[in-house]
């Protein structure tokens, strides 16, 4: 793992949260994106070398909606940048971690992603992120 890629924060209302975090950080978000497969809208802020991802549920059955119902708004996950997500999934599986996504999938912000189950990581949802190559023009 290379570095913390971003910290994900579950929010009820993305518009309100964007306003709050713009005031907090003193900068606007740089991107809003829907991840249909996860039932979320995301918003990203760049703070120093770290990104903050706000996550709003678009579906009552999405993981973010379930998280907010159970725990309320707050930190949802910590994401780590990796060079080879498939090799990391294999390595972590061999180390005994429970991988939620054995095959990486397309996530927000031009990433391939996979998650480790919090039951195997002391209650913290861990996301692995690998940058996808930018499309050719």
Dump pLDDT digits (tens) for 101-130. 889 999 999 999 999 999 999 999 999 999
Tokens of 55: 């996550």
pLDDT band at 137 (very low <50, low <70, confident <90, very high): low
Q: Tell me the pLDDT tens digit for each residue of 16-72.
A: 999 999 999 999 999 999 999 889 999 999 999 999 999 999 999 999 999 999 999
Separation between Cα atoms, residue 69 and residue 96, nearest integer Å: 29
Separation between Cα atoms, residue 32 and residue 127, nearest integer Å: 19
Beta bridge partners of 44: 31, 53
- Tell if the pTM clears 0.85, that is, is over it: yes
Separation between Cα atoms, residue 122 and residue 137, nearest integer Å: 43
Max CA pair span of the chain: 44
Angle at 57 between CA 6 and CA 65, to 5 degrees: 100
Nearest Cα to Cα of residue 75 among 17, 1, 16: 17
């Amino acid at each position: 793992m290379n570095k913390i890629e971003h910290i994900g924060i579950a929010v009820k209302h993305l518009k309100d949260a964007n306003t709050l975090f713009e005031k907090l950080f003193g900068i606007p978000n740089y991107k809003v994106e829907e991840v249909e497969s996860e039932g979320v809208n995301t918003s990203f802020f760049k703070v120093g070398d770290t990104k903050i991802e706000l996550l709003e549920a678009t579906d009552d059955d999405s993981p973010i909606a379930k998280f907010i119902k159970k725990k309320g708004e707050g930190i949802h996950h910590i994401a780590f940048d990796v060079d080879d997500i498939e090799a990391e999934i294999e390595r972590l599986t061999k180390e005994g971690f429970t991988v939620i996504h054995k095959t990486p999938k397309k996530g927000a912000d031009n990433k391939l992603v996979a998650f480790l189950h919090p039951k195997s990581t002391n209650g913290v949802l861990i996301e692995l992120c690998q940058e996808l190559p930018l499309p050719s023009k």
